[in-house]
Structure 1
Amino acid sequence: HTFPIYILLPDVLHLADDSYGIEPSDFAPDQHLVYRLQDVTSQPRGCGTPHDDERDHDNNATEHAQYKPEEIHHRQHSRYNYMNKNETAVREEMVHLANFIDSIYVQLNVRVVLVGLEIWTQQNLINTDGGAGEVLSRFTQWREKDLVPRRRHDSAQLILKKSFGGTAGMAFVSTVCSRSHGGGINAFTNNNIPSFASIVAHELGHNLGMNHDDGRPCTCATSACIMNSGATGSRNFSSCSADDFEKMILLTGGTCLLNVPRPDEAYSAPYCGNKLVDMGEECDCGSQKECEEDPCCEYQTCKLKSGAQCAYGECCYNCQYLPGGTVCRSSTDECDLPEYCNGSSSLCQSDVFVQNGQPCRNQQAYCYNGKCQYYDGQCRAIFGSKAKVAPEICFKDVNSKGDRFGNCGYHNYGYKKCESRNALCGKLQCSNVQSVTVFGIEPSIISTPIGGAKCYGVDFMLGSDVPDPGMVNEGTKCGDNKVCINFECRSTDILNYDCDVEKKCHGHGVCNSNRNCHCEDGWAAPFCEVKGYGGSVDSGPTWNGNTSVRDGVLVFFFLVLPLLALGVFVFLRRNELLRQLGLGRRKRSGCTLLYIGGGKPKLRQNYTELKRDTSAAACPQQSASIINLKLHRLRTEGALLISIFTTKVDTKRCTGLLQSSVCLGKVIYL
Structure 2
Amino acid sequence: MAGSLKKYSAAFVFTFPALLCLAIAKIDDLHPASDQTSKLSAYEITIPRQLTEREKRDAGLSPPHQDRLSYAIQLEGREHVIHLKRNEDFIPKDFVLCEIILLHFDLITTIPLYTGEDHCHFQGYVEGMDNSMVALSTCSGLRGLLQTGDTHYAIEPLESSNTFQHIVYRMEDLLQEPLACGVSDLASTMQQDDQDHAEQHSHDSMMGFLRSKRAILPQTRYVELFLVVDKDLYDVTQNETAVREQMVQLANYLDGMYNSVNIRIVLVGLEIWSKRNQINIEGGAGEVLGRFVQWREKDLLPRRRHDTAHLILKRGFGETAGMAFVSTICSRSHSGGINVYSQNILYFASIVAHELGHNLGMNHDNDRNCNCEAKACIMNAGATGATNFSSCSADDFEAMILNRGGSCLLNIPTPEEEYSPPYCGNKLVDTGEECDCGSPKECENDPCCEASTCKLKYGAQCAFGVCCKKCKFLPAATVCRAFTNECDLPEYCNGTSHICQADVFVQDGHPCHNNNSYCYNGACQSYDAQCMVLFGQNAKSAPHTCFQEVNSKGDRFGNCGSSGAGYKKCEIRNSMCGKLQCENVNSAPVFGIQPSIIQTPIGGTICWGVDFRLGSDVPDPGMVNSGTQCEAGKICMDFKCVDASILKYDCDVQMKCNGNGVCNSNKNCHCNNGWAPPDCANTGYGGSTDSGPTYDDKNTTLRDGLLVFFLVVAPLLLVAAYGFVRRNELVRRFCRKRSSQIQKSENRAQPRSASNNAAKEGVVQTTSTTAPTYVVRPSQPSPARPPPPRPAPSRPVPRTQRVHIMQ
- Name the residue aligned to 2:508: 356
- Name the residue aligned to 1:552: 703
- 1:8 alignment partner, one of 122, 126, 139: 122
State the shift of 1:230 in Å. 1.2
Amino acid of the structure 2 residue aligned with 1:8: F
- Name the residue aligned to 1:32: 166
Q: Whole-Å Cα distance in 2 between the matches of residues 48 and 72 of structure 1?
A: 28
- Name the residue aligned to 1:648: none
Q: Whole-Å Cα distance in 1 between the matches of residues 303 and 705 of structure 2?
A: 45
- 2:356 alignment partner, one of 183, 204, 221: 204
- Name the residue aligned to 2:481: 329
Aligned pairs for 1:69-108 (under 5 A) are 69-78=222-231, 81-82=234-235, 84=237, 86-108=239-261
- Partner SS state of residue 734, structure 2: coil
State the shift of 1:529 in Å. 0.9
Q: Specify whether residues 414 and 221 from structure 1 end up closer, same or farther in structure 2 by C-alpha distance, changes over 3 A only.
A: farther
Q: Specify whether residues 328 and 552 from structure 1 end up closer, same or farther in structure 2 by C-alpha distance, changes over 3 A only.
A: same
- 1:488 alignment partner, one of 614, 633, 640: 640
Native 8 Å contact 2:561 2:567 kept in 1: yes
Task: Report sequence identity in percent.
Answer: 59
Q: Whole-Å Cα distance in 2 between the matches of residues 383 and 324 of structure 1?
A: 41
Native 8 Å contact 2:527 2:628 kept in 1: yes
State the shift of 1:507 in Å. 0.8
State the shift of 1:109 in Å. 3.2
- 1:435 alignment partner, one of 567, 578, 587: 587
Q: Specify whether residues 494 and 438 from structure 1 end up closer, same or farther in structure 2 by C-alpha distance, changes over 3 A only.
A: farther
1:542 has 2:694 as partner: yes
1:57 has 2:171 as partner: no
Native 8 Å contact 1:8 1:96 kept in 2: no
Q: Whole-Å Cα distance in 2 between the matches of residues 477 and 273 of structure 1?
A: 51
- 1:407 alignment partner, one of 523, 543, 559: 559
- Name the residue aligned to 1:21: 154
State the shift of 1:213 in Å. 2.1
- Partner SS state of residue 167, structure 1: coil
1:527 has 2:671 as partner: no
- 1:183 alignment partner, one of 336, 351, 359: 336
- Name the residue aligned to 2:14: none
Native 8 Å contact 2:231 2:272 kept in 1: no
1:114 has 2:234 as partner: no
- Partner SS state of residue 291, structure 2: helix
- Listed one character per residue, the Cα deviations across residues 289-346 of structure 1 (whole Å, up to 9, x for unaligned) are 1111111112132222222221111111111111111111111111011111111111
- Partner SS state of residue 386, structure 1: coil
- Listed one character per residue, the Cα deviations across residues 160-185 of structure 1 (whole Å, up to 9, x for unaligned) are 23322211111122333444333322
Q: Whole-Å Cα distance in 2 between the matches of residues 552 and 12 of structure 1?
A: 60
State the shift of 1:232 in Å. 1.0
TM-score, structure 2 as length reference: 0.66
Native 8 Å contact 2:573 2:641 kept in 1: yes
State the shift of 1:74 in Å. 2.6
- 1:221 alignment partner, one of 373, 380, 383: 373
- Partner SS state of residue 310, structure 1: coil
- Name the residue aligned to 1:631: none
- Listed one character per residue, the Cα deviations across residues 445-484 of structure 1 (whole Å, up to 9, x for unaligned) are 1112234432211012234576411111111111222111
1:423 has 2:575 as partner: yes
Segments of structure 1 that go 5 or more residues without pairing to the other structure are: 569-577, 589-670
- Name the residue aligned to 2:458: 306
State the shift of 1:285 in Å. 0.8
Q: Whole-Å Cα distance in 2 between the matches of residues 357 and 283 of structure 1?
A: 41
Native 8 Å contact 2:150 2:374 kept in 1: yes
Q: Specify whether residues 467 and 542 from structure 1 end up closer, same or farther in structure 2 by C-alpha distance, changes over 3 A only.
A: farther
Native 8 Å contact 1:46 1:168 kept in 2: no
Amino acid of the structure 1 residue aligned with 2:457: K
Q: Specify whether residues 45 and 156 from structure 1 end up closer, same or farther in structure 2 by C-alpha distance, changes over 3 A only.
A: farther
Native 8 Å contact 2:204 2:371 kept in 1: no
Native 8 Å contact 2:230 2:312 kept in 1: no
State the shift of 1:378 in Å. 0.8
Native 8 Å contact 1:49 1:465 kept in 2: no
- Name the residue aligned to 2:762: none
Q: Whole-Å Cα distance in 1 between the matches of residues 526 and 418 of structure 2?
A: 38
Q: Specify whether residues 268 and 434 from structure 1 end up closer, same or farther in structure 2 by C-alpha distance, changes over 3 A only.
A: farther
Native 8 Å contact 1:520 1:535 kept in 2: yes
Native 8 Å contact 2:230 2:277 kept in 1: yes
Native 8 Å contact 2:223 2:263 kept in 1: no
Aligned pairs for 1:128-527 (under 5 A) are 128-147=281-300, 153-190=306-343, 192-265=344-417, 271-412=423-564, 414-439=566-591, 441-464=593-616, 467-527=619-679
Q: Whole-Å Cα distance in 2 between the matches of residues 148 and 434 of structure 1?
A: 43
Q: Specify whether residues 15 and 331 from structure 1 end up closer, same or farther in structure 2 by C-alpha distance, changes over 3 A only.
A: closer
CA RMSD, aligned part only? 3.2
Q: Whole-Å Cα distance in 2 between the matches of residues 267 and 378 of structure 1?
A: 43
- Name the residue aligned to 2:177: 43
Native 8 Å contact 2:407 2:503 kept in 1: no
- Partner SS state of residue 288, structure 1: coil
Q: Whole-Å Cα distance in 2 between the matches of residues 166 and 322 of structure 1?
A: 52
State the shift of 1:362 in Å. 0.8
Amino acid of the structure 2 residue aligned with 1:96: Q
Q: Specify whether residues 533 and 492 from structure 1 end up closer, same or farther in structure 2 by C-alpha distance, changes over 3 A only.
A: same
Q: Whole-Å Cα distance in 2 between the matches of residues 233 and 294 of structure 1?
A: 36
- Listed one character per residue, the Cα deviations across residues 45-80 of structure 1 (whole Å, up to 9, x for unaligned) are 677776635641112354332341413223133166
- Partner SS state of residue 546, structure 1: coil
State the shift of 1:359 in Å. 0.8
User: Which moves more between the two structures, 18-27 or 501-510?
Assistant: 18-27
State the shift of 1:84 in Å. 4.8
Q: Whole-Å Cα distance in 1 between the matches of residues 271 and 473 of structure 2?
A: 35
Structure number with the bigger relative contact order (C-alpha 8 A, sep ≥ 6) is 2
Name the larger-Rg structure: 2
Q: Whole-Å Cα distance in 2 between the matches of residues 444 and 535 of structure 1?
A: 45
State the shift of 1:416 in Å. 3.1
State the shift of 1:254 in Å. 4.3
Q: Whole-Å Cα distance in 2 between the matches of residues 529 and 563 of structure 1?
A: 34
User: Which moves more between the two structures, 304-313 or 137-146?
Assistant: 137-146
User: Which moves more between the two structures, 96-105 or 353-362?
Assistant: 96-105
- Partner SS state of residue 455, structure 2: coil
Native 8 Å contact 1:114 1:267 kept in 2: no
Q: Whole-Å Cα distance in 1 between the matches of residues 232 and 673 of structure 2?
A: 52
Q: Whole-Å Cα distance in 2 between the matches of residues 580 and 97 of structure 1?
A: 94
- Partner SS state of residue 367, structure 1: strand
Q: Whole-Å Cα distance in 1 between the matches of residues 507 and 384 of structure 2?
A: 43
Q: Whole-Å Cα distance in 1 between the matches of residues 147 and 429 of structure 2?
A: 28
User: Which moves more between the two structures, 243-252 or 319-328?
Assistant: 243-252
Q: Specify whether residues 566 and 163 from structure 1 end up closer, same or farther in structure 2 by C-alpha distance, changes over 3 A only.
A: closer
Q: Whole-Å Cα distance in 1 between the matches of residues 593 and 738 of structure 2?
A: 92
- Name the residue aligned to 1:640: none
Amino acid of the structure 2 residue aligned with 1:56: Q
